[in-house]
Every structure is written in C-alpha cells, then in structure tokens.
Amino acid sequence: MKREIVIAGFGGQGVLSMGKTLAYAGLLQGKEVTWMPAYGPEQRGGTANVTVIVSDEPISSPLLQKYDIVVVLNQPSMDKFESKVKPGGVLLYDPNGMTRKPERKDIRVFEVPATKTAEEGGQQKVFNMIVLGGLLKIDQVVENEFVMLGLKKSLPERHHHLLPANEAALLKGGEILKEIK
C-alpha cells in the first residue's frame, strides 16, 4: 500500500498540521511516512501545501508531480492541484468560498463542508480534523485509532481534554462527506 497525498489551502487553515497528524498516525501504524511542506513566506496568508506519503515500503522521492489524493481547501489550491490528481484518484474539497467546481471526469470527487460544520458547531479549532475525517472515510490511509493515538502522544497533557472534541470531529467529517457525481 502506498498513498501519495497533497493537502493545500490558505495559510492558517491548519494544512501543515493536518498533514502532520496524518503522517504521525501512519508512523504509529508502522508505516513509512514523509511530510514535505512547500515552506517559506507562502505559509503566511498565502497558499500553503504539504505532501504526505504513507507507504508500506521505504519512500524514495518525497516530492511528487501527481497524487492519489488531493485535498483542497481554497480556490487557488483547486486551480493548482485539480490537474495533478492521478486518473482514478481522489479530489476532496471544502465548498466554502469555492467559485468553481472541479471539472475532471476521470477522478472521484468528494465534498466535505467542514468550514460550515465547524462554524455551526463553534468548533473552528477542529476544522482540519473534520476534513481529515472526510479523507479517511474515502480511503482508510491510516486507521482512526492511530490518528487519536498520535494526537494523544503529541498533545501536552493539559490539552488532553480536547481529545474527545477531535475524535467527534473526525467522525463528523465522515458523516458529512458527499460524493459528487
């Protein structure tokens, strides 16, 4: 098993940390992982993206041209990455603020209204966990239990009371996921 994923959006949307959560879960599940950000001032206010590879085998190039799964959280990222989904691959997006829907027909397209759901629930802080929940519902790249174990291990003890909200968000993302056909 090998999944090549890119997550892209505005800086501040938690794109990099979502990728890290995914990669760490993969590591805990005993897989090989790489997390490669497009780093620099781009992160601040502009677009941010991170490439995450989860694999059973050692990973050669941490950088890719085409992806199995593309997650886009704003319009510029949609414009940049729609063409980079491998044929038969997955495009997952949050419709919030999107002015143009994906056009490709040779891929599977999913919508996860995570911004709206997070705002309604007053849960903006777990926005990216909702997105991740959607992603993992489409393709169990890693198991939810390892996502939660990763959060538990990486969050300081004083923040552990936030774990249930994160777990709920992860499940919520799966519930609100919708395939666009």
Residue ranges in contact with another protein by CB under 8 A: 20, 23-24, 27, 32-37, 39-41, 59-65
Tell me the sheet residues that pair with 55.
2, 32
CB of 59 to another protein, least distance (A): 8
CB of 108 to another protein, least distance (A): 23
CB of 3 to another protein, least distance (A): 15
Helix (H, G, I), strand (E, B) or coil at 69: strand
Q: Nearer Cβ to another protein, position 153 or 181?
A: 153
Q: Nearer Cβ to another protein, position 57 or 103?
A: 57
How do beta strands 32-37 and 67-72 pair?
A: unpaired
Tell me the sheet residues that pair with 47.
10
CB of 47 to another protein, least distance (A): 15
CA 5, chain centre distance (Å): 8
Q: Nearer Cβ to another protein, position 64 or 107?
A: 64
Q: Could you identify the residue written with the tokens 């959006």?
A: 9
Angstrom distance (rounded) from CA 119 to CA 3: 30
